[in-house]
Amino acid sequence: MRYIDPHIHMSARTTDDYERMAAAGIVALIEPAFWLGQPRTNAGSYMDYLSSLVGWERFRAAQFGIRHYCAIGLNAKEANNEALAEEVLELLPRYLLKEGVVALGEIGFDDQTAAEEKYYRAQLDMAKELDMVVMVHTPHRDKKTGTIRSMEIAVEQGVAPGRVIIDHNNEETVEDVLQRGFWAAFTLYPHTKMGNERMVEIARRYGSERIIIDSSSDWGVSDALAVPKTARLMLDSGISAEAVEKIAYRNALAAYGQTGQMAEKDWLEPADIDQRTLFEGNSVLRGQQPRVDELQQIPERIKDLVFK
Amino acid sequence: MTPHELLQRWLERQLPPAASEWLEKSATQIQASGKDADLYLAVSLVSRKVGKADLALSEADLREAASARPQWNPRDWSADQAARVFLVLALESDPERLARALERLCNSADVSELIAFYRGLPLYPDAPRYLGRATEGLRTNIKGVFEAIALRNPYPGEQFPQPAWNQMVLKALFVGSALWPVVALDHRANAELAHMLCDYAHERWSAGRPVSPELWRCVGPYARGAMLEDLERVLRTGTELERRAVALALRASPDPAASALLQRDAALAKAVARGELTWERVAAT
């Protein structure tokens, strides 16, 4: 089975992760712009970060045969530094329409402050104007209120629910999100948020329509293989292959492929290897052979790398 | 015709009318509005509006390119690259503004955009202004970006001071790029580079790794003394291809000892003398 991890912060991960992800069947991923763990103090460092998402990180993923897409936006935490936020908002149009930018995100609430709401609304307006999909981060604290408020504001700003992915759901929020017509994504963090078994129960109860799973892996304790591992657990628990494929691959493609910036042909029918496709070179592999052509050998390796 | 006009003609000929109109309109808007934001958005949108087909050029087109701008060789350009350079050149009449906008574009570029901007280097007005940008671009770890500057691009040969030129050639070998598409490779050969390349060959030999036969092309014209020992070593122990490369290098050397060395292998010496061996053939093998 093929997988997409539609929320993972690869800038914080090593090439070991890329290698194992490719071996486990992840063909594409989405890296949303987010907080770096340490607050940024100026727009220049934000700009370099956004450039790395469309530049170096995209190239790095390609070395392992994984297609890298990204979401660009001002995250909720840093919306509270208004001087920074104003400047970042001015930078965003330079990135939002670039090739492979599949969404505006991740945006939304953290502490649910007035500043967060102001920049959330401003970015929703931007998404509407540029006809973009939106990835919404829901708060860890006071989650249910924050999630409902995020959806209400999106509707108020005139963004269609079908264009919005509400991320980091749990058992308490999923019904509201699905009922209102939004996409419901679940983050599979080890120890916190959604554990793999809980996700299996959610799939049993709510089916596979508009449900998406992701790892949100970053520099914290997280698992870059959460999507394939959870998919395997679902299959082992008797959930149909068709449903698992939707949850771990097809729904993410449908949601984030709406603007044509991510398409299955990108990885099923890659262009010939030449200097324009970027699927070559070995500057990351430092003298080892590129792995790109070896991906067909994956099935034997999955058991060793992923499921032990 | 100027390169800008040629790009316009080729794109108009190749693109569907809607894409072509969008491109024209965008270029006009960029010139008229004075707002760099128009340029940023148009450059981003090229991948959606124009697509990534190869730029379809005939031999006659390539001849026109080279007469519009000496050594300009857009043979392997794609339509999106041509369109992006075309949009940047909409600011051609205002070199100050073009330079400022291009610097900002490069700072927020994705990989494909960077490749296009660097391929356009020989076409921007006031060429010396872009020296810093070009050498900065060579520091990339992305091979496609490096090659956009180093290969089939007359800019480095015309503008780079010797240290930058030498670093570029050495890095080309280091990242596994071919040398024959480097414009002015023979013209810019120098003694310092020849020494650097011989040191590099020794490094590779110590690590038990192969040495590109093309390396000896830049060594030949300055090969004397200890460098001849390196050539002798390859002539003695190298593969057939390496030996052909060394034969060509020896022929280019001004040192009489070099021609004596070459005469040791009568067949190779003869092939070189008859012009049967060329660097292009060595590179193509």
pLDDT in tens, A60-102: 998 888 999 999 999 999 999 999 999 999 999 999 999 999 9
Residue B113 contacts A where some CB pair is shorter than 8 Å = yes
Instruction: Give, in order, the Cα–Cα distances in Å from A122 to each of A105, A107, B35, B127, B195.
Output: 12, 10, 22, 41, 59
Exposure letters A268-281 (e unless 16+ CB within 10 A, then b): eeeeeeebbebbeb
Task: Please tell me what DSSP assigns to residue B78.
Answer: B
Report CB contact under 8 Å: B143, A280: yes
Q: How far is B224 from chain A (nearest CA, A)?
A: 32
Q: What is the pLDDT of residues B78-130, one digit of tens each?
A: 999 999 999 999 999 999 999 999 999 999 999 999 999 999 999 999 999 99
Q: Which of A36-45, A281-290, B184-193 has the lowest mean pLDDT?
A: A281-290
Instruction: Tell me how far apart the alpha carbons of residues B217 and B13 are, in angstroms, rounded to a whole number.
Output: 40
Residue A55 contacts B where some CB pair is shorter than 8 Å = yes
* B41, B111, B147: residue with CB nearest A58: B111
- Percent of chain B whose predicted confidence (pLDDT) is above 70: 100
Q: What is the pLDDT of residues B218-251, one digit of tens each?
A: 999 999 999 999 999 999 999 999 999 999 999 9
User: In whole numbers, what is the pLDDT of chain B averaged over residues?
Assistant: 95
Give the pLDDT score at A277: 47
Amino acid identity at A93: P
Give the pLDDT score at A236: 93
- Scanning A173-192 for CB atoms below 8 A from B yields none
Whether pLDDT at A299 is above 50: no
Report CB contact under 8 Å: B114, A55: yes
Q: What is the pLDDT of residues A146-169, one digit of tens each?
A: 999 999 999 999 999 999 999 999
DSSP state letters, B180-192: TTSTTTTTT--HH
Report CB contact under 8 Å: A55, B111: yes
Give the pLDDT score at A295: 42
- Scanning B119-158 for CB atoms below 8 A from A yields 141-144, 147-148
DSSP state letters, B239-283: -HHHHHHHHHHHHH---HHHHHHHHTSHHHHHHHHTT---HHHHH
Q: How far is B263 from chain A (nearest CA, A)?
A: 37
Q: How far is B208 from chain A (nearest CA, A)?
A: 13
Residue B34 contacts A where some CB pair is shorter than 8 Å = no
Please return the burial class of B174, using the count of CB atoms within 10 Å of its CB with bins 0-12, 13-18 and 19+: middle
Phi, psi of A103 (to 5 degrees): -160, 165
DSSP state letters, chain A: --EEESSB-GGGS-HHHHHHHHHTTEEEEEEE----SS---SHHHHHHHHHHHHTHHHHHHHTTT-EEEEEE---HHHHTSHHHHHHHHHHTHHHHTSTTEEEEEEEE-SS--HHHHHHHHHHHHHHHHTT--EEEEPPSSSHHHHHHHHHHHHHHTT--GGGEEEES--TTTHHHHHHTT-EEEEE--SSSS--HHHHHHHHHHH-STTEEEE--B-SSS--TTHHHHHHHHHHHTT--HHHHHIIIIIHHHHHHTTTSSS-THHHHSPPPSSTTT-----TTTTTSPPSGGGGGGHHHHHHHHT--
B238-245: long-range contacts, CB 8 A cutoff, minimum separation 24: B241/B213, B241/B282, B241/B285, B242/B211, B242/B213, B243/B268, B244/B213, B244/B268, B244/B271, B244/B277, B244/B281, B244/B282, B245/B213, B245/B214, B245/B215, B245/B216, B245/B217, B245/B279, B245/B282
- pLDDT category of residue A195 using cuts at 50, 70 and 90: low
Report CB contact under 8 Å: B48, A99: yes
Q: What is the pLDDT of residues A197-241, one digit of tens each?
A: 899 999 999 999 999 999 999 999 899 999 999 999 999 999 999
Q: How far is A124 from chain B (nearest CA, A)?
A: 18
Instruction: Tell me how far apart the alpha carbons of residues A107 and A81 are, in angstroms, rounded to a whole number.
Output: 14
Phi, psi of A284 (to 5 degrees): -85, -35
Identify whether the C-beta of residue A166 lies closer than 8 Å to the C-beta of residue A184: yes
Helix, strand, or coil (residue B17) = helix
Q: Tell which residue, B196, B178, B189, B191, has the closest CA to residue B283.
A: B178
Relative to beta strand A134-137, strand A211-214 is: unpaired
Phi, psi of B160 (to 5 degrees): -75, 135
Q: What is the pLDDT of residues B24-56, one digit of tens each?
A: 999 999 999 989 899 999 999 999 999 999 999
> What angle do helix axes A15-23 and A298-305 make, rounded to 10 degrees?
120
Q: What is the pLDDT of residues A252-292, one digit of tens each?
A: 999 999 999 999 999 888 765 434 445 433 334 444 444 44
Residue of chain A whose Cα is closest to the Cα of B51 = A99
Structure tokens at A262: 């991510």
* B110, B144, B175: residue with CB nearest A54: B110
Whether pLDDT at A145 is above 80: yes
> Residue ranges per domain, chain B?
3-134, 191-284
